[in-house]
């Protein structure tokens, strides 16, 4: 069952978010695109008190529930998250990706941490005066799509009872914001037993300013240029024993390890798809607005054979947008009702990545030379769109997951 009715409280929140997106983010979108390593301080400072208040309320509920946090009824927090991400990305995705909060690191703690760890690590997002960020590091120079081949190691020092991390992670979103510019953390995936493959992979909460952790300056990127993307190196970085997410016993069954990483994606892929949909909607609206100024308006009543080429293109763009958005809502709805959504999460992410790439390309094409120029936003939207085809599993990897699930193949049988 999909309920398309958005609760009134959420509608009001969406209206407020739209104001931030249209009045704070959109007017500065070009500036931060052209000043890649500057932080969008107006957005960050405006949104942080709101995020902290929401986190505070969530933390109070969590504390009240104690060790039995299972809620009755639907978890509308996921729907709320997806709708707000869509709206903020409509404003400007680069700035949205700098949003303070637990981010991907928080998804990982939720997916793989014990209740005690959730209380301990997530409290800072409800309490700190200044903005705080979380991040997650899986990707390495030789371990991208096949991240089970990661080489970053975590070795237990029995004398101090600490994990010692060594290795390098690349392309980490909010890596500097979480580890150097705030009191945040990064959830780092590393192996405790390189010979064990997936079974040896665990996740560790590495706090900001941990000695032995070096963050190198960000990439010069094609799109989402305001986003903070860095390389993180670990050289004998020491992490307390209980910062390994899940059980404190590395070999215990309750330590979710690699499975925890996959569960992180169940929530983060619909979030990425929602972000893609925000860009797609922005491109569609922008294109229709500029075409209308030139006197081109789609006549939906016209028989198909009488449509102009431009009208057909616009209708096709809208159809791609709607189908990808519906798939995103379907994957989210499963999360809201606590059902498994591995297949839907990959489906919506793969489809949204493709749809937003095509829609924004078409926008540039339809708008002619100005569409290709820096004077208008269309070319920026096209550049910002492409990342949705890459992070949180590339399109190809998500299609593999979909194919395996539908055809009943194992990872070994279909790779
Ligand atoms: C801006 C940005 C932000 C990022 N943020 C983060 C982050 O916060 N944390 C993090 O851990 N990572 C992050 N990443 C990394 C991202 O998740 C990886 O880039 C992605 O997983 C792909 O890995 P790779 O780049 O090593 O490509 P590769 O794995 O080398 O893939 C290259 C190409 O081969 C294709 N391919 C690979 N294997 C197969 C296969 N079996 N079948 C068919 N095709 C295949 C891929 O789809 C891709 O097109 C980020 C990346 C970018 C660019």
- What digits encode the pLDDT tens for the residues 337-381? 888 999 999 999 999 999 999 999 999 999 999 999 999 999 999
**Strands (DSSP E) found in 129-228:** 134-137, 153-157, 162-173, 185-191, 201-207, 213-216
Please report which confidence band the pLDDT of residue 263 belongs to, taking 50, 70 and 90 as the band edges. confident
pLDDT tens by residue, 133-178: 999 999 999 999 988 889 999 999 999 999 999 999 999 999 999 9
293-336 confidence digits (pLDDT tens): 999 999 999 998 999 999 999 999 999 999 999 999 999 999 88
Is there an atom of ligand 1 within 6 Å of 387 CB? Answer: yes
Distance 400 CA to ligand 1 centre (A): 14
Among candidates 64, 251, 235, 240, which has minimal Cα distance to 153?
235
How would you class 332 by CB atoms within 10 Å of its CB: exposed for 0-12, middle for 13-18, buried for 19 or more? Answer: buried
Catalogue the long-range contacts made by 399-403 (C-beta closer than 8 Å, 24 or more residues apart): 399/346, 399/350, 401/342, 401/343, 401/346, 402/343, 402/346, 402/347, 402/350
Q: Above 60 in pLDDT, residue 251?
A: no
If one residue of 139, 269, 387 were mutated to test the ligand 1 pocket, choosing by the most ligand atoms within 8 A of its CB, it would be 139
CB of 203 shorter than 6 A to ligand 1: no
Determine if ligand 1 sits within 6 Å of the CB of residue 402.
Answer: no
pLDDT at 411 over 90: no
């Amino acid at each position: 069952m999909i309920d398309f009715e958005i609760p009134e409280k959420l509608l009001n929140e969406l209206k407020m978010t739209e104001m931030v997106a249209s009045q704070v983010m959109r007017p500065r979108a070009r500036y931060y695109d052209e000043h890649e390593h500057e932080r969008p301080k107006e957005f960050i400072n405006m949104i942080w008190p709101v995020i902290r208040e929401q986190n505070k309320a969530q933390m109070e509920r969590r504390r009240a529930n104690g060790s039995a946090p299972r809620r009755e009824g639907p978890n509308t927090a996921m729907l709320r998250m997806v709708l707000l991400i869509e709206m903020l990305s409509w404003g400007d995705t680069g700035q949205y990706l700098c949003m303070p909060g637990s981010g991907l690191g928080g998804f990982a703690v939720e997916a793989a941490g014990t209740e005690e760890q959730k209380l301990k690590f997530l409290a800072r997002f409800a309490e700190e005066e200044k903005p705080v960020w979380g991040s997650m590091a899986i990707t390495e120079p030789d371990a991208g799509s096949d991240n089970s081949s990661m080489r970053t190691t975590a070795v237990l020092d029995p004398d101090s009872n600490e994990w010692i991390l060594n290795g390098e992670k690349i392309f980490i979103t909010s890596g500097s914001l979480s580890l150097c510019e705030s009191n945040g953390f990064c959830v780092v995936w590393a192996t405790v037993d390189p010979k064990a493959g997936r079974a040896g992979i665990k996740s560790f909460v590495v706090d900001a300013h941990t000695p032995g952790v070096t963050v190198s300056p960000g990439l010069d990127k094609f799109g989402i240029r305001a986003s903070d993307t860095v390389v993180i190196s670990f050289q004998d970085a020491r992490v307390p024993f209980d910062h390994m997410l899940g059980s404190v016993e590395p070999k215990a069954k309750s330590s979710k390890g690699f499975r925890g990483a996959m569960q992180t994606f169940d929530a983060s892929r619909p979030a990425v798809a929602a972000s893609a949909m925000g860009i797609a909607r922005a491109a569609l609206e922008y294109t229709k607005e500029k075409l209308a100024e030139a006197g081109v308006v789609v006549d939906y009543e016209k028989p198909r054979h009488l449509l102009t080429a431009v009208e057909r293109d616009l209708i096709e763009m809208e159809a791609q947008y709607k189908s990808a958005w519906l798939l995103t809502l379907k994957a989210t709805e499963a999360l809201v009702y606590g059902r498994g959504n591995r297949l839907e999460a990959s489906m919506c992410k793969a489809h949204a990545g493709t749809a937003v790439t095509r829609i924004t390309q078409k926008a540039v094409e339809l708008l002619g030379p100005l569409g290709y120029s820096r004077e208008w936003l269309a070319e920026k939207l096209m550049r910002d769109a492409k990342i949705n085809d890459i992070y949180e599993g590339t399109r190809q990897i998500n299609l593999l997951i979909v194919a395996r699930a539908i055809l009943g193949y194992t990872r070994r049988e279909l790779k």
